[in-house]
């Protein structure tokens, strides 16, 4: 059932001993939403703990350090920033069918919870939770604001992407007026600027592998299993690299092709602006969003590239 | 004389045939401020033209294309985003001593104009001009808003840096509510994400040259004249590369050292957060701002590096 802020308030004010589930492969928005909501529940006198199927990366420790995830037999199950129970990882089996409240911003939300507070136009789950806290007139602590800012900054690419709502900017303005103690620039540095040495070297290698087609409108980075072995790159290290295919000026579509099994390429498409890559991927048996989509192509690297080039060429016409 | 919005309004409403000077090595803020102010003057029925000592880079053409810089004998001289007449380049001699109104946000403004509307806490000159337009209750056209957003985004690092004011976010929120026609994400992409192929290759090379000291807290990239020749890099290409010395997680201070004359290194210091690099550069005979400063060190590359390491080590204690 889809609900509004009023029903969500009633639920939160009357719940007890809550588990807050965040999605696997956690990011700044689900961690921020989980720990931000935990702070709000604490203001209401409700015990809670945040759970995540995967280990939370070190870079998010400023949100989790010193926060006690209380131990209790849960009476309330809440999911944040989770569109589908599949994304709960090992918690799907335990809690997937028992979620009472889901707070989310994904249009693709499967409506799996008893009650879903869905705001599909919001930049981030953290934007929804900030609005809810304001609606409820609860105190937003410094730690809570830090978490919610981080989520909004994460999902908007630091206010860079199309999905950045006016409200996201308004919330950032309100926070900057209210919380002098928060070092927003440091959060942004850790979320958007720093990388590990390994990642830096990997990105440098990727620059060498960029090939441009169709007058520079298409950039492909294709990595075979042999290449990964020769360069000493593991599959998880390749996660999140697709956006760098868009960094050249003229590029409209960037594609990262990774050989996952011999003769099978996992292709991640990114659109710089107007081209709908979801439509392109559908012609190749895949799908996704307008600006980020994917598909799997079978064949050797040259055959797979040719298929990508042909599909993009058609879309550009 | 320092003035407020009221005097600036009176001046602008009564001026005629205005030249608007932007600074040399133009950036998004001075171009945005110049062309944004030109739009506001047009609303008031005042002819104007924007001038810049250097050619305006192609990436800013979305602000300048199709805008007529009218031809007339100037009766009014206005400077935007210019702290010192020296920054006018070849226009210093012609207009430097004749500026009637300067609109700026640099604390270091030399107060060289007859009237100076200075807001040293503003993120950008464009923030001051937006506030002025609102104060004056003039119409802000789509083109004007595009220019002013670009300036605010530029100087705040797309809302990432410390200097991002609450007001900067509020303006972005107002613009996003009012101007559906503006493709903000595209502006951000061109200002912050895309690079030329040459620049991409150069950054990849720089990754290889990074050396870390003091347990990773200091990163140095040192480039001798020989290295530049071998790598085929020209001096202008090195501009703006200093920030990439800060991209590793543990780095507190990043230093780009470029051999400008044989045995003379121009050193650009950047601070990630708390270390004041202006103070460090002062100990080496230079100066600047807390987060970005510079100095010149004489000697061979190893001597120069040793001086940098010693100075940073002292500051970190």
pLDDT of residue A132 exceeding 90, the answer is: yes
Domains annotated on chain B, with CATH: 5-192 (3.90.1640.10), 198-316 (3.10.310.30)
Q: Which residue of A has its CA nearest to B197?
A: A248
β-pair type (A287-288, A292-298) = antiparallel
Task: Render A150-177 in DSSP notation, one character per residue.
Answer: HHHHHHHTTTTSTT--HHHHHHHHHHHH
Range with lowest mean pLDDT among A133-137, A138-142, A191-195, B29-33: A191-195
State the average pLDDT for chain B.
94
Is B207's Cβ below 8 Å from some Cβ in A? yes
Contacts of A47 (CB under 8 A, 6+ apart): A16, A17, A18, A41, A70, A72
A184 touches chain B (CB under 8 A): yes
Per-residue model confidence (pLDDT) at position A265: 95
Instruction: Provide mean pLDDT across the span B37-56.
Output: 97
Question: In this predicted model, which residue has the larger pLDDT, B205 or A54?
Answer: A54
Residue to mutate among A123, A145, A173, with most B CBs inside 10 A, is A173
In which residue are the tokens 């709960």 written?
A88
pLDDT at position A95 is 98
Nearest chain A alpha carbon to B274: A186
Tell whether B247 lies on the interface with A, counting CB pairs under 8 A: yes
A249 Cβ partners below 8 Å, 6+ apart?
Answer: A216, B59, B190, B194, B195, B196
Q: Which of A286, A307, A294, A277 is nearest to A238 (CA)?
A: A294
A206: pLDDT strictly greater than 90:
no
How high is the pLDDT of residue B13? 98
Extract the runs of DSSP E, i.e. beta strands, from B83-171.
101-104, 115-118
* pLDDT mean over A138-155: 97
Mind listing the pLDDT tens digit for each residue in B216-238? 999 999 999 998 888 887 777 77
Partner A contacted by B199 (CB < 8 A): no
**pLDDT attached to residue A268:** 94
Mutate to test the interface with A, among B204, B216, B246, B290 (most CBs of A within 10 A): B204
What confidence tier does A9 reach under pLDDT thresholds 50, 70, 90? very high
State percent of chain A over pLDDT 70: 100
Q: What is the ipTM of this complex?
A: 0.90
Asked if the model's pLDDT at residue A239 lies above 80, the reply is no
* Residue closest to B78 by CA, chosen among B47, B102, B98, B54: B102
Which pLDDT does position B276 carry in this prediction? 94
Query: A71: distance to nearest CA of chain B, Å?
Result: 33
- Enter the pTM of the model: 0.91
Q: Please answer yes or no on whether B185 and A160 come within 8 Å at the CB atom.
A: yes
CA-based torsion, A209, A213, A216, A220: positive or negative: negative
pLDDT for A290:
87
| A22 closest CA partner among A83, A111, A93, A67 | A83
User: Is B1 at the interface with chain A, CB within 8 A?
Assistant: no
Residue-wise pLDDT tens digits, B166-195 = 999 999 999 999 999 999 999 999 999 888
Please indicate if any CB of chain A lies within 8 Å of the CB of B169: yes
pLDDT of residue A304 exceeding 80: yes
Chain A nearest-CA distance from B232, in A, is 17
What is the model's pLDDT at position A34? 98
pLDDT at A193 over 80: yes
Q: Which of A186, A195, A208 sits opposite B273 (nearest CB)?
A: A186
Distance in Å, alpha carbon of B44 to nearest chain A alpha carbon = 29
CB contact under 8 A, A196 and B249: yes
Contact B154, B46 (CB under 8 A): no
A-facing residues of B in 47-86 (CB < 8 A) are 59
pLDDT-derived band at B241 (thresholds 50, 70, 90) equals: confident
Q: So what's the pLDDT on residue B272?
A: 92
Instruction: Note whether A273 contacts B: Cβ–Cβ < 8 A.
Output: yes
pLDDT number for residue B74:
97
Structure confidence by residue, pLDDT tens digits, A20-76 = 999 998 999 999 999 999 999 999 999 999 999 999 988 899 999 999 998 999 999
Structure tokens at A61: 């420790």
pLDDT tens readout for residues B5-30: 999 999 999 999 999 999 998 999 99
CB B118, CB B133: distance < 8 Å:
no
Res. A238: pLDDT tops 80? no
**Inter-chain CB proximity A160 and B165 less than 8 Å:** no
Contact check, Cβ <8 Å, A158/B159: yes
| Residues in chain B within 8 Å Cβ distance of A195 | 247-249
d(CA A125, CA A130): 9
Q: What percent of chain A has pLDDT over 90?
A: 81
pLDDT at B101 over 80: yes
Question: What is the per-residue pLDDT for B234?
Answer: 78
Kindly list the residues from chain B whose CB atom is less than 8 angstroms away from the CB atom of residue A210. 200
Give the number of A-B residue pairs with CB atoms closer than 8 Å. 126
Average pLDDT for B145-169: 96
The CA distance from A272 to the nearest CA of chain B, in Å, is 8
In the sheet that holds A287-288, the strands lie side by side as: A211-213, A218-223, A253-261, A264-271, A292-298, A287-288
Q: Give Cβ neighbours of residue A273 (< 8 Å, ≥ 6 apart).
A: A252, B183, B185, B186, B189
Higher pLDDT, A92 or B229: A92
Going by C-alpha positions, the residue among B123, B206, B245, B119 that lies closest to residue A172 is B123
Which residues does chain B have within 8 Å of residue A208's beta carbon, measured at their own beta carbons?
204
Higher-confidence residue of B11 and A199: namely B11
């Amino acid at each position: 059932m889809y609900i509004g802020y009023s029903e969500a308030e009633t639920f939160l004010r009357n719940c007890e001993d809550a588990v807050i589930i965040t999605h696997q492969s956690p990011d700044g928005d689900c961690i921020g939403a989980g720990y931000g909501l935990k702070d709000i529940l604490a203001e209401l006198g409700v015990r809670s703990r945040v759970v995540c199927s995967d280990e939370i990366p070190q870079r998010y420790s400023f949100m989790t350090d010193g926060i006690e995830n209380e131990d209790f037999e849960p009476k309330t199950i809440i999911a944040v920033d989770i569109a589908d129970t599949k994304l709960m990882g090992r918690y799907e089996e335990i809690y997937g069918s028992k979620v009472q409240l889901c707070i989310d911003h994904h249009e693709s939300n499967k409506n799996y919870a008893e009650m879903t507070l869905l705001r599909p136009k919001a930049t981030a789950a953290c934007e929804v939770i900030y609005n809810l806290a304001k609606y409820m007139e609860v105190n937003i602590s410094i730690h809570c604001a830090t978490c919610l800012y981080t989520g909004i900054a994460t999902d908007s690419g630091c206010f860079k992407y199309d999905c950045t709502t006016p409200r996201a900017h308004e919330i950032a303005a309100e926070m900057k007026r209210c919380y002098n103690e928060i070092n927003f620039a440091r959060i942004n540095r850790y979320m958007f600027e720093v990388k590990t040495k390994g990642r830096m070297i990997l990105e440098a290698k990727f620059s060498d592998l960029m090939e441009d087609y169709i007058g520079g409108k298409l950039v492909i980075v294709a990595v075979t299993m042999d290449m990964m072995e020769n360069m000493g790159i593991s599959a998880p290290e390749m996660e999140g690299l697709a956006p760098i295919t868009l960094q050249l000026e003229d590029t409209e579509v960037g594609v990262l092709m990774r050989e996952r099994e011999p003769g099978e390429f996992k292709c991640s498409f990114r659109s710089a602006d107007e081209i709908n890559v979801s439509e392109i991927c559908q012609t190749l048996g895949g799908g996704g969003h307008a600006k980020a989509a994917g598909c799997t192509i079978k064949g050797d690297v040259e055959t797979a590239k040719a298929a990508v080039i042909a599909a993009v060429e058609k879309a550009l016409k």
